[in-house]
Amino acid sequence: MSSTDRVTAGLLVIGDEILSGRTKDVNIGATADFCTDLGIDLMEVRIVADIEDDIIAAVNALRQRYTYVFTTGGIGPTHDDITADAIAKAFGVALPINPQAREMLESRWKQAGTEVNEARLRMARIPDGADLIVNSVSAAPGFRIGNVHVMAGVPVIMRAMLEALAPTLTGGKKVLSVAIKAWVGEGSVGSQLGEIQAQYPDVKMGSYPQMGTGRPTTELVLRSSDPMRLEEAAEKVREMVNAAHEKAGVVPPQE
């Protein structure tokens, strides 16, 4: 992975089962972690139903806006698996059976004694001009076309595909982070945190209240790709938090 200044991504999750609540998505969190590790800014996620026009509209919006687009779901063998069809239409290309994909699948099916049929061969349909993304788990490949990376929805397969494509991606500057705990509510530090944020526009500051800890607690998270600026800003935030503890008569527990 080489390094440039700013690399962005959008994620498109495809599937009725996520929108109905029947399946609880875990691919968003996995993709977010994956992008952060590679210094890629995940900027937007969309979840759409198994509706061709909706998939086409979303993928076209995202691929114009971000360096990379990832999609998950809808590349299996059944009638509701229409992601490859939608992507081919979004790019205006044909969707033939890909000989290499067919070979990957038939070789796996032969091992397992699985029948080759029309439904299963749907999984070998790959848009013209796309490269395959290897699926070490169940053989049916994903694919990359333009800046769009099409992956399975089953989490274990999706993660294997992310690993397979990691070496092909160009990451941005690695973003470092510091977390500082304040034993007061976030309203007690909000105004001053906003002032420190204004002094350090290159250090992104977030404030997250903790619930159910039995006392007001706030986690302050600072992120930057510049380690010196990050530490300088973190020191100012620590001073502010110490002053807030003193003002509130709080003695932070030893951790």
Interface residues with its own copies (CB under 8 A)?
13, 16-26, 28-29, 32-36, 41-50, 54, 76-81, 114-115, 117-120, 122-123, 137, 154, 156-157, 177, 185-191, 193-194, 197, 204-209, 211-212, 221, 223
- Least distance CB 171 / its own copies (angstroms): 14
Find the length of the chain. Answer: 255
Distance between CA atoms of residues 210 and 199, nearest Å: 26
Nearest to its own copies of 50, 87 (CB atom) = 50
Nearest to its own copies of 129, 194 (CB atom) = 194
Nearest to its own copies of 154, 169 (CB atom) = 154
Could you tell me the sign of the dihedral formed by the alpha carbons of 78, 80, 83, 87, in that order? positive
- Least distance CB 61 / its own copies (angstroms): 9
Distance between CA atoms of residues 207 and 189, nearest Å: 9
- Least distance CB 79 / its own copies (angstroms): 4
- Least distance CB 45 / its own copies (angstroms): 4
**Exposed/middle/buried for residue 34 (C-beta within 10 Å: 0-12, 13-18, 19+):** buried
SS3 188: helix
Nearest one of 206, 189, 169, 196 to 250, comparing CA atoms: 189
- Least distance CB 26 / its own copies (angstroms): 8
Nearest to its own copies of 93, 221 (CB atom) = 221
Strand-strand pairing, 8-14 and 68-72: parallel
Nearest to its own copies of 129, 206 (CB atom) = 206
Q: How many CB atoms lie within 10 A of CB 244?
A: 19
Cα 15 versus chain centre, distance: 16
Nearest one of 249, 182, 237, 167 to 213, comparing CA atoms: 182
Nearest one of 73, 57, 77, 75 to 65, comparing CA atoms: 57
- Least distance CB 71 / its own copies (angstroms): 14
Nearest to its own copies of 145, 220 (CB atom) = 220
Nearest to its own copies of 19, 93 (CB atom) = 19
- Least distance CB 8 / its own copies (angstroms): 10
Could you please report the per-residue DSSP string of 33-51? HHHHHTT-EEEEEEEE-S-
